[in-house]
């Protein structure tokens, strides 16, 4: 169950993601730098295929093994293989609940209430819906930030290419990246898209946390435990009494003068 | 950028440049890591100027700093009040960057207000309570201490706004009002904000009253950590790189690392803001700009800024991304020009207190103003 700082955690998480993106960009820059100084390495699969072809050619000079690789069997295998490996790619996983789930939850949450029956599932459905809202708001906020990082990298790439890195000034390249990214993030943070996403995330997180607190209080009441609402009510009463007492003391002092 | 043609000679030169820079960065990182390992938390002390608590109301205290020089004859005591989105320790971050020490060395009797650590039990404290109960009681204590004569108030950031309200409501209590990085007109001039300026104004204007209330009601108070995340987001790349590139650039220098860590200690000590007051701060001040519209009232009495009749000094930061200049300068519209002075400090919001330059410009300017208008 998410805790009271869900919204903040989500914001922190996105900032962390931002930082990860920053480091990814640094890594990418370092790789570009590496490419600028070194010949492009072959990926292990291409390298393996080439080695195998060389091996076959060495033993059977008249036979072209690449023809076998182009066969339909192989191409079907590649397709199947790609589909299989895609299952392991987190970017292809569904990050949001399907719309059907939302409509089911809505129908549960809005079902008519009968006086002598309890409906714990209504509260649960409400909470579930708010969890989905929170997921969607998190994704929307993440999308805005991800796009900002992509724009930052695109802008940076226009000014700094692999060829530029051939001058060898990595410090200048890094400083330019920090400046470019900062400007892009600042621009993003004043955009209507960012503000809408930020507002949505804060609201979704607040609503979810409130719902969770309400459900926790329902259990607390059943178990004869004091609830947050009761303590807050008492606190408010004490606060009002203190304020009233101060005012009376002040009036009394003024009357005595 | 022009692309140098790659020849064996310049390839070798570029390779050496790159390797040299990478080596330097690596060495600096190692030095900084070693320095961090060599420093313990007890080495990082802030707010070390000795003081004694002389007044308390609930969690709010007033402390008097012990004098460091012969008293400046005729100068009233000064009460410094910060807000609740940070801690007043910023005015005494370290010995060589301490507004407090500068004032004490000039012979000024310095007191500081500490709002304490509000908990959920304080969530119903309103801005009116902060102004008319806590701040007023502290000021009245100091007026009594000063034989019934008015005092000099120095309000900073939110504390400056609260002090301004009290100076308008009870002008007899004040001989002078100094302010630093204090928002007055919360709308400012958004058309002319520079990149990164006024995010708080924009973000809060974008939310409805209900949304802001809802955000704070969930926690009871405005959690200090939430304020911290908000402030970090205002300077995104600086926040993301301060523990890697930032530390690396310190090159393991002990003094620079300690300066950095003292600042970190100050940032980490962010109190929770009482919920009801935070809602008013965001809704009444930021969203509805009630102060300059004359719509904000305390105990039924409207806060009319033109009722301030003591000399006023307004210190603002020219590169302040939190309180835009256009949000603080409009105070001059309400004060007689003969009584109004301002200093535009070339730095950022916090730089007004912690930068080396500020010790001369800000502290020096404040002391000159006290000598000229308060003595």
Residue A165's nearest CA partner among B244, B24, B11 is: B11
Sign of CA dihedral B214, B215, B219, B224: negative
Instruction: Quick: pLDDT tens for B59-81.
Output: 999 999 999 999 999 999 999 99
- Are the C-beta atoms of residues B261 and B39 closer than 8 Å to each other? yes
- Is the domain defined by B46-373 classed in CATH 3.40.50.1820? yes
Assign residue A71 a region: left if phi > 0, alpha if psi is -120 to 50, beta otherwise? beta
* pLDDT level of residue A49 (50, 70, 90 thresholds): low
Count CB pairs under 8 A between chains A and B.
121
Instruction: Quick: pLDDT tens for B84-117.
Output: 999 999 999 998 889 999 999 999 999 999 999 9
DSSP secondary-structure letter at B273? B
Instruction: Quick: pLDDT tens for B236-268.
Output: 999 999 999 999 999 999 999 999 999 999 999
By the 10 Å C-beta count (0-12 exposed, 13-18 middle, 19+ buried), B98 is classed as buried
Token pair, residue B124, equals: 């119903």
End-to-end C-alpha distance for chain B, whole angstroms:
60
pLDDT over 70 percentage in chain B: 98
DSSP secondary-structure letter at B176? E
CA distance A202 to chain B (A): 7
Contacts of B220 in chain A (CB under 8 A): 232
* Distance in angstroms (rounded) separating the CA atoms of residues A23 and B34: 23
With an 8 Å Cβ cutoff, is A241 touching chain B?
no
Instruction: Quick: pLDDT tens for A182-216.
Output: 999 999 999 999 999 999 999 999 999 999 999 89
* CB within 8 Å: A189 and B199: yes
* Distance in angstroms (rounded) separating the CA atoms of residues B74 and B108: 10
With an 8 Å Cβ cutoff, is B238 touching chain A?
yes
Instruction: Quick: pLDDT tens for A58-84.
Output: 555 555 555 555 555 555 556 566 666
By the 10 Å C-beta count (0-12 exposed, 13-18 middle, 19+ buried), A124 is classed as middle
* pLDDT level of residue A112 (50, 70, 90 thresholds): confident
Extents of the domains making up chain A: 6-70+124-251
* CB within 8 Å: A11 and B121: no
Contacts of B219 in chain A (CB under 8 A): 4
> What is the torsion angle, in degrees rounded to the nearest 10, for the CA atoms of residue B207, residue B211, residue B217 and residue B218?
-100
* CB within 8 Å: A166 and B3: yes
Active site residue B138: no
Question: Which residue in A37, A159, A163 is closest to B15 by CB distance?
Answer: A37
* CB within 8 Å: A235 and B123: yes
């Amino acid at each position: 169950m998410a805790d009271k700082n869900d919204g903040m955690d989500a914001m922190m998480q996105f900032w962390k993601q931002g930082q990860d993106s920053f480091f990814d960009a640094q890594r990418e820059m370092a790789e570009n730098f590496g490419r600028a100084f070194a010949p492009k390495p072959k990926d292990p699969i291409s390298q393996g295929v080439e080695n195998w072809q060389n091996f076959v050619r060495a033993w059977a000079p008249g036979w072209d093994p690449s023809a076998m690789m182009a066969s339909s069997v192989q191409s079907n295998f590649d397709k199947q293989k790609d589909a299989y490996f895609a299952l392991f790619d987190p970017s292809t996983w569904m990050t949001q609940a399907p719309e059907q789930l939302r409509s089911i939850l809505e129908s549960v949450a809005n079902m008519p209430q009968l006086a002598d029956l309890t409906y714990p599932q209504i509260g649960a459905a409400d909470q579930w819906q708010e969890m989905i809202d929170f997921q969607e708001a998190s994704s929307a906020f993440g999308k805005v930030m991800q796009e900002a990082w992509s724009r930052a990298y695109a802008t940076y790439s226009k000014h700094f290419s692999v060829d530029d890195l051939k001058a060898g000034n990595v410090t200048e390249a890094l400083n330019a990246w920090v400046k470019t990214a900062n400007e892009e993030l600042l621009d993003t943070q004043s955009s209507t898209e960012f503000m809408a996403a930020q507002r949505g995330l804060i609201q979704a997180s607040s609503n979810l946390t409130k719902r969770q607190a309400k459900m926790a209080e329902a259990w607390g009441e059943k178990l004869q435990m004091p609830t947050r609402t009761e303590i807050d009510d008492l606190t408010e009463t004490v606060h009002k009494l203190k304020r009233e007492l101060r005012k009376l003391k002040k009036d009394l002092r003024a009357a005595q003068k | 950028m022009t692309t140098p043609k790659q020849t064996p000679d310049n390839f070798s030169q570029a390779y050496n440049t790159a390797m040299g820079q990478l080596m330097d960065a690596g060495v600096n990182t190692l030095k900084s890591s070693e320095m961090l390992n060599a420093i313990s938390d007890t080495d990082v002390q802030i707010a070390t100027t000795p003081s004694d608590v002389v007044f308390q109301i609930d969690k709010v205290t007033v402390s008097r700093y012990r004098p460091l020089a012969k008293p400046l004859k005729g100068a009233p005591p000064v009460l410094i009040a910060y807000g609740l989105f940070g801690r007043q320790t910023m005015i005494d971050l370290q010995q060589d960057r301490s507004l407090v020490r500068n004032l004490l060395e000039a012979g000024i009797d310095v007191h500081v207000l500490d709002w304490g650590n509000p908990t959920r039990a304080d969530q119903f404290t309103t801005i009116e309570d902060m102004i008319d109960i806590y701040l007023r009681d502290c000021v009245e204590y100091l007026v009594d201490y000063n034989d019934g004569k008015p005092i000099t108030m120095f309000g900073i950031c939110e504390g400056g706004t609260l002090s301004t309200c009290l100076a308008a409501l009870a002008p007899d209590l004040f001989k002078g009002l100094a302010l630093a990085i204090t928002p007055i007109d919360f709308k400012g001039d958004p058309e002319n904000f520079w990149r990164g300026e006024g995010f708080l104004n924009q973000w809060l204007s974008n939310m409805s009253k209900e949304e802001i209330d809802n955000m704070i009601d969930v926690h009871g108070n405005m959690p200090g950590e939430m304020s911290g995340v908000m402030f970090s987001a205002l300077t995104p790349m600086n926040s993301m790189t301060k523990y890697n590139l930032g530390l690396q650039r310190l090159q393991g220098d002990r003094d620079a690392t300690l300066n950095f860590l003292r600042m970190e200690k100050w940032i980490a000590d962010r109190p929770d803001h009482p919920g009801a007051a935070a809602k008013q701060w965001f809704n009444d001040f930021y969203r509805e700009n009630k102060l300059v519209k004359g719509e904000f009232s305390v105990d039924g009495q409207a806060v009319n800024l033109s009722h301030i009749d003591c000399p006023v000094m307004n210190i603002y930061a020219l590169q302040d991304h939190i309180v835009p200049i256009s949000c603080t300068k409009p105070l001059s519209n309400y004060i007689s020009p003969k009584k109004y002075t301002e200093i535009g400090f070339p730095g950022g919001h916090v730089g007004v207190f912690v930068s080396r330059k500020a010790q001369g410009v800000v502290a020096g300017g404040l002391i000159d103003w006290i000598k000229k208008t308060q003595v």
